[in-house]
Amino acid sequence: MVLEDAKLMANICSIISSIVTESSIIVDSEGIKIKAFDASHISMIDFFMKKEAFEKYNLDDETNIGLSLETLNSILKTASASEKLIMSLDDETKRFIVEFTGQKQQRKFALSLIKIPEEGNIPDSIHFDFANKFEVKASFIQQVLKDAEMVSDYLRIKTSNEGILFGAESDTKEMETFIDPESDDILDNEGYSVDPEGSDAVYALDFLSNFLKGIRSSDSVRMSFNQAQPIRIEYEIEDKGHLIYFVAPRIEESEDIE
């Protein structure tokens, strides 16, 4: 597999490895895929890059490659903007080969494969009928998370006919950011919708931040959620594929329960 922009894969791997440290990478006739839960099973990553995104994509049979994504990330981080990325599997040594090619130089790494325990409960796809859907600038939601992290470990998202309220609170501090449908930070107004009865959900900030801090601030993300259900965050990788991230909600205990 030859990718013209090595930095693109480096950025993707940086995001995924912050959530999943090791995983199986499926290489098939459609492209490359990763679907995995984080260690706590609070979040799930769904990555796909279609074969058309590659300058060259040769495949004999569907292949399942177990790798340390942390190690792969440390290698891909060395990529420069002028380098191509070549990835291949050496059948003889059973190693995953990563090569960078630039003008008059070539760098090569070999990674041992690892056995990844099967997670039989990973669904092929997750579908919710989301009542709340909106696309925002990545820079906007990244600032919201930075503000919330100064106050709490959790982010609350509330929707109403007036717009969307992001908030966080602790015993001594509180923050709120409100955005209405006409804001410049809301993109694709036709795809904007909120539950007319309003929704209120709470999610762990560290799980949201691990994913969203790696998105380029100039890009956008689609966010979808329902009351007391997982939030879905989708990042389109140009025209080459997608990164979809699910985070389970925090279930707040009733004050009546000791």
Output the pLDDT for position 164.
97
- Model pLDDT for residues 244-256, shown as the tens digit of each residue: 999 999 976 434 3
Output the pLDDT for position 253.
47
Copy the structure tokens of residue 146.
């930075």
**Total H helices, total E strands in the chain:** 4, 17
> pTM score > 0.85 for this model?
yes
Q: Which residue range is the domain that position 181 belongs to?
A: 132-230
Report which of 201, 212, 205 is spatially closest to residue 234, judged by C-alpha positions. 212
pLDDT tops 50 at residue 70 = yes
Question: Is residue 120 domain-resident?
Answer: no
The CATH number of the domain holding residue 68 is 3.10.150.10
For residues 103 and 189, state if they share a domain.
no
The CATH number of the domain holding residue 169 is 3.70.10.10
Q: Which amino acid is present at 101?
A: T
- Model pLDDT for residues 18-56, shown as the tens digit of each residue: 999 999 999 999 999 999 999 999 999 999 999 999 999
User: Rounded to an integer, what distance in angstroms lies between the CA atom of residue 244 and that of residue 214?
Assistant: 13
Output the pLDDT for position 91.
87
For residues 194 and 92, state if they share a domain.
no
For residues 106 and 18, state if they share a domain.
yes
For residues 137 and 88, state if they share a domain.
no
- Write down the mean pLDDT value for the chain: 92
Copy the structure tokens of residue 240.
């080459």
For residues 101 and 186, state if they share a domain.
no
Output the pLDDT for position 228.
87
Please say whether the beta carbons of 161 and 194 come within 8 A: yes
Please say whether the beta carbons of 218 and 206 come within 8 A: no
- Model pLDDT for residues 114-135, shown as the tens digit of each residue: 998 876 556 665 667 899 999 9
Angle between helices 6-17 and 69-76 (to 10 degrees): 140
What is the percent of the chain with per-residue pLDDT over 70, rounded to a whole number? Answer: 94
What is the percent of the chain with per-residue pLDDT over 90, rounded to a whole number? Answer: 84
- Model pLDDT for residues 82-104, shown as the tens digit of each residue: 999 999 999 899 999 999 999 88
For residues 73 and 6, state if they share a domain.
yes
Who contacts 194 (Cβ-Cβ below 8 Å, separation ≥6)?
131, 132, 134, 159, 160, 161, 163, 164
Give the Å distances, CA to CA, from 238 to 56, 91, 246, 251.
18, 32, 20, 35
- Give me the number of domains the chain comprises: 2
- Model pLDDT for residues 203-231, shown as the tens digit of each residue: 999 999 999 999 999 999 999 999 989 99
Who contacts 121 (Cβ-Cβ below 8 Å, separation ≥6)?
none
pLDDT tops 80 at residue 152 = yes
Strands 186-187 and 132-137: antiparallel
